[in-house]
Amino acid sequence: MIELHLGDITELATDAIVNAANARMLGGGGVDGAIHRAAGAALLEACRALPEVEPNVRCPPGQARLLPGGNLKARHVIATVGPVWKGGTCGEDETLAQCYRSCLQLAEEHRLESIAFPAISTGAYGFPIERAARIALREIRAHLHKADFPSLVVCVLFNKADHDVYRAILEE
């Protein structure tokens, strides 16, 4: 089942919430900053402990990492790194799709019942919301169709305009 939620992802009590992080994975602005503030030191320590795959890269774009939720209601944070929008001709669509697939695959491997996603890459990274929403909803639907876990995916939108975009696509 897919649900839409208008509000702050840090308040959700799903088994995991997804963070739209950067490759260094030590925090940032936007939803990343909000999640680190709410989760506290346990999350940052776990991020620091992740091995670097190259200097200053703990997670390349499109991949995901399972982390503890610390003080959050959610038991886990799944951090992923979206593409920076460069006009749409640099593989941004496929990298964004990989983000959703990587997070959902981790949730499936750990048999998590529920997961909440922010609109990855649509803030600081500049990905157009409608194009991102179509990719997100396509990948989520494909996963729900083939897998037993998670059974609930919540798409969390931080403003009404983004919520309206998601709702319109879901209702098509």
Nearest CA to 69 among 114, 29, 30?
A: 114
Amino acid at 72: L
Is 8 a known active-site residue? no
> Least separation, in Å, of the C-beta of 148 and ligand AR6?
27
Q: How far is the CB of 42 from ligand AR6 (least distance, A)?
A: 18
8 lies in the binding site for ligand AR6 (CB under 6 A): yes
Return the structure tokens found at 33: 């900053």
Q: Residues 13 to 72: which contact ligand AR6 by CB under 6 A?
A: 20-22, 28-32, 34
Catalytic member of 8, 32, 93, 162: 32
Judged by CB under 6 A, the number of residues near ligand AR6 is: 24
Binding characters for ligand AR6, 106-125, by CB under 6 A (x = yes) = ------------xxxxxxxx
- How far is the C-alpha of 62 from the C-alpha of 134, rounded, in Å? 17
Q: How far apart are CA 133 and CA 119, in angstroms?
A: 7
**Distance separating alpha carbons of residues 81 and 58, to the nearest angstrom:** 10
The CA distance from 15 to 107, in Å, is 9
Residues with catalytic annotation?
32
Residues that bind ligand AR6 (CB under 6 A): 8-10, 20-22, 28-32, 34, 82, 118-125, 156, 158, 162
